Structure formats: structure tokens, C-alpha cells
A and B are shown apart, each in its own frame.
Chain A
Amino acid sequence: MISLKRSETSILIGNGYNTVKAYMSAFVLHANNVTWFANHNAIIQGIELNVKAGEIIAIVGPNGAGKTSLLKCLYGEHNDYCGNIYLNGKCLKTIDSKNIAKKIAVVSQHSDPAFNLRVIDIVSMGLIPHKGLFDANTTEDKHNIEHALTRVDLLTKQYRLFSTLSGGEQQRVLIARAIVQAPDILIMDEPTNHLDMYYQHQILQLAKSLNITLLITIHDLNLAAQYCNRIVLLNEGKLIADNTPEKVFTTKNLTHVFKLDCAIDKNPFTQSTRITFAGIDNKVKKDRCIDPAKLSL
């Protein structure tokens, strides 16, 4: 059930339906007790998640924690989940996939097209949710595509084959497609996989600069802490913590979820939370919460 504050509960008595509706409308995306099974195994269990407009949320957790499955439920790829998901206050299951695509764009993990698609071919696909069967591309569409390509700094490579681009450039192409799609929410599933340091930062910086709601699954906790203002920590399909990076990235939470000792301090450049994991063989015997100052002794 939705957890309501006391003041909200008192209003609920007067006009319950409208209050719940108003409550849900306050969030662009609202997951209420979502559970999803694959082959009779619960991959995610009882997830509660409220996403406000403009938030940048990282969903983190070890492999198999259910990060991608949760995302797939949120953008309607999995629609056989239990519980409810609301997009702008409307039940996601009742919204047509085309209308979902107008609100949510997805940059999924590395894709390898069978044919030689050019950059511009892929970016133009962002128009699909906004076009009917008989609609042709307009001058404005062309302008939007050029704008998106400029935004990701690929205007000069628009005729290149997608397969000949580097991993970072390919991710930028998919982000350009998302820009053309003009969504309210951008969902990115492990966008920094296989990328070097520079491209990892470039992709996240670019996504952040779009100034829309972002939901990102990511393995690098330091990147998550640096670029996101909210962290959702999952483990074995369950929500462990959902708060700011400082509150979620505690040694207690991280050693419990990742089974590794860690030290937490501040990134000297950005002042964001910095996590340093010990190796499997480097267990700290007494206190797992380490003061980094002591580490150097």
C-alpha cells in the first residue's frame, strides 16, 4: 500500500479517491508493491518506488539483484508483474505502448544491429512514437534530429555506420535517439558498460545535462554517487535502501549487499561520496567501517 503521511490520511477520509489520485500524480513514476516472477522465481519483490520529475536516480546492486528487471517493469517491457505502476498517475498497464514511448525513452545495453544502420537512421527512429502511419517527416523533424546530433556532438558523423563507431559514440547515438523521442523520463540500463573512464563520465554528464528525469542502473558506485541525487539499492530482488548517496552508501549497507569490506570518504575533486572496496582476501578484522585516514598508517 502507499504510505501516506498523517496530514494526507486526514484528507483521504474526506475525499479518498481524489487524494490518492493526487498523491500518485505528484510522481512521474510510482511503483507500488511491484513483484515480478521469471520461471516461478521472484526476481523483484515488493518494490516501492516514487520518482519525482527531474530526479536523477541510480539503481545499484550486485548482479542478479533485479535492477534490469525493475527497469523493464517500469517501462512496460515486463507487464506481467504483480502490484501497480503509475505513469503520471495513470496505471501503466492501461497505457498504449506508443503513449508510454512518448513519455519514457530507453537506452538499453549495447546493441548490435544485423544490418549496416547509419547514425542518422537510428537517431530518426526517435520520431516513431510521434508519427502516425501516414505521417511524413517534416522540416521540424529534420531540425530536431540535427539538434539531437549536435547535442551529442555527432553531427559530423551522422552518415557513419553505427557498427564502425566506438562504444561511447554508440551510446551517444542512442542518447540522441532518446532526445528526438522527447520523453519526460530517460531510462538507461548500464550505459557505462564496456566504456573507458572518459566515456563513462561523458555519457553520464550528457544524460544529466538533458535536465529530465533519469533512471540509471550502474555498477560503478562512485559514478552513481557523483552524478545521481538519489540511490536505490537492491539486493536479491528486494529494496535495501532508497535515499541520497550519503545515506545509502554506508559501510553497513555495502558490506551487507556486496559482501566486501569497504572504506567511505569524499571524492577530493567533487566532494561526492567515494567508496573503496577491499579485495576478497583483504578482510578487515575488527571494525569494517574504516576511517580512510587510518588506512594510510
Chain B
Amino acid sequence: MNKILLEKLTNPIKLSYKFYLILICALVLVTLTASIGFGVAELGHKAVWQCITQSCERSIYDTILWEIRFPRVLLGFIAGFGLALAGALMQNVTRNPLADPYLFGIVSGAGLGATLTQFLPISMQVISLPLASFLGSLLAVGIILIVLYQNNWRRIEHLLLAGVAVSFLLSSLTTFILYSGDAFSSNRVIFWLMGSLARADATALMIITPVVVIAAFTALLMGRQLDALLLSDESAKTLGVKVERIRIITLILCAAITAVIVSYCGGISFIGLMIPHIVRPFVGITSSKLFIAVGLVGGCFLVWVDVIARSALGGQEIPIGVITSAMGSLFFLALLRKM
């Protein structure tokens, strides 16, 4: 028994999953409450705390906190949750530690869709932008799924290569349209592509939340099957796992999560790559434990990135994608050094 105890102490996952989950839940609670205190308008921590626990001292505080900041924090949390979950799913299902939901070319597809809205009347552009970018994302995913279908879903490396190809193809079309379009519309699209949570409202939350929740629930149900894929496709098949079916469902889940988030929040990259790598050493790699932890940490991460984005330069907001890309690139290089 002593040997087993000694082995538990040398377990690469040092502390129990429950401990880390409690820690992460505490982080979520702190994030959701503390982050609404940050913003351009300085309300003071006392006033914010009073608004949370009782009622706001002034009605303007009520508007700022509950109608502007809170939806934005919630959107950041849900979007971060979804992107990190999609990243973990992609890495598990492709057995590639460098996989990311954006490998589908989803951002490029969304970019193309958003760019095409400049040909619509200005009054329609704001409303149609999320819809057009969603359709663009679906176009990218559709092309990749067709490529995989032609390969009988067997060659998973084709997914990565097809993703890169589709990404470049759609980006080149977007660049050409932006180059030949008018400057005002181009600026609007470019700023949107850099990522922002400024579109946070009830509609965005009502569209994104169900997709992320359903995807997370489905991923958890498929947890054992996804774990089996970690060894090899052949090994998974000998355990009775229908590999192609699981792979298609997972890819569709990832595509749906990413497309719906990108259509409202623009291009927020690298969360899907970074967060699973940060979380794995603590909670392990089995799906049921990893997915929940990854989602919660991803949500907190994006909320704090948004806090930096809207408060670092005073009144001027930095696009979120700029911050996540900078952090992600450095993380990527560090990861490659470690591998």
C-alpha cells in the first residue's frame, strides 16, 4: 500500500481533480464579479460591490454595470469557454497538440462573409455582418468536410492541410475585395476581424450560449470515445468506437462553436491552442475532466483579456485578437521549444 501511496505522490497530476475544479470554479466566480469593475468609467470598487450585493447607488451605475459590462463579460466568458473547448476537441480528435479550431479556415471564411457585406446598403451592413460571417464560416467548413468525405474520413492529416489551403484561398479573396472596396467599409471589416466583444447584447448571448452548451454536453457524452482516439484510430476501433462517426460529429461541433463565436466576436485566435496546453498538466487529458476545466479556464482567460483590451489604453479599446495573438504566438514558440 505504501508503494501505491508513493506512486500517487509521483502522479504527474499532483493534486486531485476535485481540488483543481474547486480552484477553477473560484476563479470563475472571482472573474465574473471582479471583471465588471473594470472599464472606462471609474465607478470604484465599493460602488460596484454595492451594485452586486444590494442595489446601485445611482441609476447610471445600474446601466453601465448590468446593461453594458455584464453582457460583455458574459459573452467573453461564453466565447472563451467555446473556443477553448473547441481547441481541446480539435487536439484530441486530430491527435495533434498544435491543432486549433481556426485550422478550418473559419476565420478566413467569416472574414470573406463580413467583407461581402460592404456591397449591401449601409443600413443593412451592421445587422447582416454576423449573419454573413457565419455563412462564410460555414462555407469554409463545408469545403473541408467535402475534402474529408472524399477521403472517406480516414486521413485526418488531410483536415489540417485542407484547413490551411482553404484559409489561404478565402483570405486571398477577402484581401482582393478589401483592396478594391471603399476605405470606410474596409476599415470596419478589418477592425471586426481583429476581434472584439463590443457587440455583446442579449441576442448574441442567446445565439452563442445554446450552441456552446449543447456542444459541451455532446462532447462530454462522447468523452470515452474521444479518449479512445488518443491512442490510435485502430486501437479505438478495436474498442468498438465508430471512429469516423465520432470524428465527423466532433468536427461539426467545433465548426458550429467557432463559426457562431467568430460571427459575433470576430477573429479571436490562439485561445483554442493555448488553454488546453495550460490546463492538461493539472487535470490530465481524459475528456470528461479536461473539457470542463478547459472551458472554464478559457472563459476566464478571455474575460481578463477583454479587461486589458478596454482599460490598458484608457478610453481607446485594443482589439482582443491583437492581445490573444501576441500572447498565443509567444506561447506557441515556448511550446515548440518544449516539444
Residues in A107-143 with C-beta less than 8 Å from chain B: 108, 111, 113-118, 121-122, 124-129, 131, 133-134
| Closest A residue, CB atoms, query B2 | A156
Chain-A contact segment, one of B159-167, B222-230, B293-301: B222-230
Pick from B4, B96, B234: contact of A77, CB under 8 Å: B234
CA distance in complex: A117, B228 (Å): 11
**B interface vs A, CB < 8 Å?**
3-4, 6-8, 10-13, 91-92, 95-97, 221-222, 224-225, 227-228, 230-232, 234-235, 237-242, 280, 284-286
Q: Is A101 interfacial (CB 8 A cutoff)?
A: yes
- With A131-B224, A134-B221, A161-B12 as known contacts, state yes or no: A108 contacts B242, CB within 8 Å: no
A-B pair number, CB within 8 angstroms: 97
| Closest A residue, CB atoms, query B12 | A161
CB distance from A107 to the nearest CB of B (A): 9
CA distance in complex: A126, B11 (Å): 21
B7 in contact with A158 (CB, 8 Å): yes
B3 in contact with A117 (CB, 8 Å): no
CA distance in complex: A209, B239 (Å): 22
A interface SS class: mixed
A117 in contact with B285 (CB, 8 Å): yes
B6 / chain A contacts, CB cutoff of 8 Å:
156
B7 in contact with A129 (CB, 8 Å): no
A114 / chain B contacts, CB cutoff of 8 Å:
95-97, 230
| Closest B residue, CB atoms, query A122 | B231
Q: Is A75 interfacial (CB 8 A cutoff)?
A: yes
CB distance from A168 to the nearest CB of B (A): 18
**A interface vs B, CB < 8 Å?**
75-77, 96-102, 104-106, 108, 111, 113-118, 121-122, 124-129, 131, 133-134, 155-161, 181
CB distance from B237 to the nearest CB of A (A): 6
Q: Given contacts A99-B240, A116-B280, list 5 more A-B pairs with CB under 8 A.
A: A115-B97, A118-B284, A125-B228, A125-B231, A157-B7
B7 / chain A contacts, CB cutoff of 8 Å:
156-160
Pick from A111, A115, A155: contact of B232, CB under 8 Å: A111
B228 in contact with A128 (CB, 8 Å): yes
- With A117-B231, A121-B285, A159-B7 as known contacts, state yes or no: A129 contacts B239, CB within 8 Å: yes
A134 / chain B contacts, CB cutoff of 8 Å:
221
A129 in contact with B240 (CB, 8 Å): yes
> What 8 A-B pairs have minimum CB-CB distances, sorted nearest first?
A101-B240, A98-B240, A159-B11, A106-B238, A114-B95, A129-B240, A156-B3, A128-B239
| Closest A residue, CB atoms, query B241 | A128
CB distance from B30 to the nearest CB of A (A): 30
